[in-house]
């Protein structure tokens, strides 16, 4: 075995946690949240469910709250309203249109001025269905080696140009290849985009891969559980009515 001095050992370059102690942990201030008390701005968020129907509907409600400046679930204010990009890989444009119109119909019962808000800020909500295959790009944001794809470059440019506040990726497992060696490569690329990014997890087998996020949202039988790195756990009682989630 080749012998060398400890000074030549790369594992000994940093011994202890001294450098960690010198680095501050950035904790978002209350005014730096996208959704008051729930979701920090410029954070990674995942949404998953345990055989409970409606996670995409919940994601669209969150997107509409940001785009049209209406409280999420009629309680949690959007502190930084603005442009939203929602990319769906499995639903057709017609499916997405029906979901949107249904939400507008039901939500307007409690927020009568919602249609006028949507008309005034219609450019704030962009919804793209990659299922229809009319954009000429693969949904994959990275390839098997973790390198960014043309789709990622398009996404990053869109976000920078329009200064998006929220990007929704649904379902996230359709946006990276099966042979991806390390999911951390996806996290790394997404953190380069200056926006809150919501990853909707469709495959239960993938739940464990999406734990390195700031906020995890789980739809349960009796409500929405929000687990935050900064504020801990919050359980919100919700129920699904006529195609819309509301507080119980």
Question: What is the pTM for the complete model shown?
Answer: 0.91
Tokens of 8: 């030549």
* Residue 222, pLDDT score: 82
Q: Which domains does the chain have, with CATH numbers?
A: 28-247 (3.40.50.300)
Residue 234's H or E segment, with its range, is: strand 232-236
Burial class (CB in 10 A: 0-12, 13-18, 19+), 202: middle
Q: What is the pLDDT of residues 32-84, one digit of tens each?
A: 999 999 999 999 999 998 778 899 999 999 999 999 999 999 999 999 999 99
Q: What is the pLDDT of residues 177-186, one digit of tens each?
A: 888 777 888 8
What DSSP designation does 63 have? Answer: H
Q: Which residue in the block uniquely carries the two structure tokens 């409606």?
A: 54
Backbone phi, psi, residue 85, to 5°: -120, 120
* Residue 101, pLDDT score: 97
Cα-Cα-Cα-Cα torsion 144, 133, 155, 107, nearest 10 degrees, comes to -120
* Residue 202, pLDDT score: 79
Q: What is the pLDDT of residues 222-246, one digit of tens each?
A: 899 999 999 999 999 999 988 999 9
Nearest to 104 by CA among 150, 56, 70: 70
* Residue 164, pLDDT score: 98
What whole-number distance in Å separates Cα of residue 248 and Cα of residue 237? Answer: 5
State yes or no: pLDDT of 207 exceeds 60: no
Band of residue 206 on the pLDDT scale cut at 50, 70, 90: low
């Amino acid at each position: 075995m080749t012998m060398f001095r400890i000074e030549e050992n790369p594992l000994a370059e940093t011994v202890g946690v001294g450098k960690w102690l010198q680095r501050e942990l950035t904790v978002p201030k209350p005014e730096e949240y996208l959704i008051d008390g729930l979701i920090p701005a410029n954070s990674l968020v995942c949404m998953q469910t345990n055989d409970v129907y409606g996670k995409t509907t919940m994601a669209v409600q969150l997107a509409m709250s940001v785009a049209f400046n209406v409280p999420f679930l009629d309680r949690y204010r959007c502190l930084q309203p603005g442009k939203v990009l929602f990319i769906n890989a499995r639903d057709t444009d017609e499916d997405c249109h029906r979901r949107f119109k249904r939400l507008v119909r039901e939500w307007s019962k409690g927020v009568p001025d919602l249609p006028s808000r949507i008309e005034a800020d219609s450019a704030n909500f962009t919804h793209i269905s990659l299922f229809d295959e009319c954009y000429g790009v693969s949904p994959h944001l990275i390839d098997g080696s973790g390198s960014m794809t043309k789709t990622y470059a398009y996404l990053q440019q869109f976000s920078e140009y329009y200064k998006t506040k929220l990007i929704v990726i649904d379902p996230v497992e359709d946006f990276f290849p099966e042979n991806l060696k390390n999911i951390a490569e996806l996290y790394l690329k997404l953190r380069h985009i200056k926006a809150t990014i919501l990853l909707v997890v469709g495959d239960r087998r993938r739940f464990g891969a999406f734990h390195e996020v700031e906020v995890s949202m789980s739809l349960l039988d009796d409500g929405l559980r929000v687990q935050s790195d900064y504020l801990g756990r919050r359980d919100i009682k919700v129920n699904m009515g006529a195609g819309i989630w509301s507080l119980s």
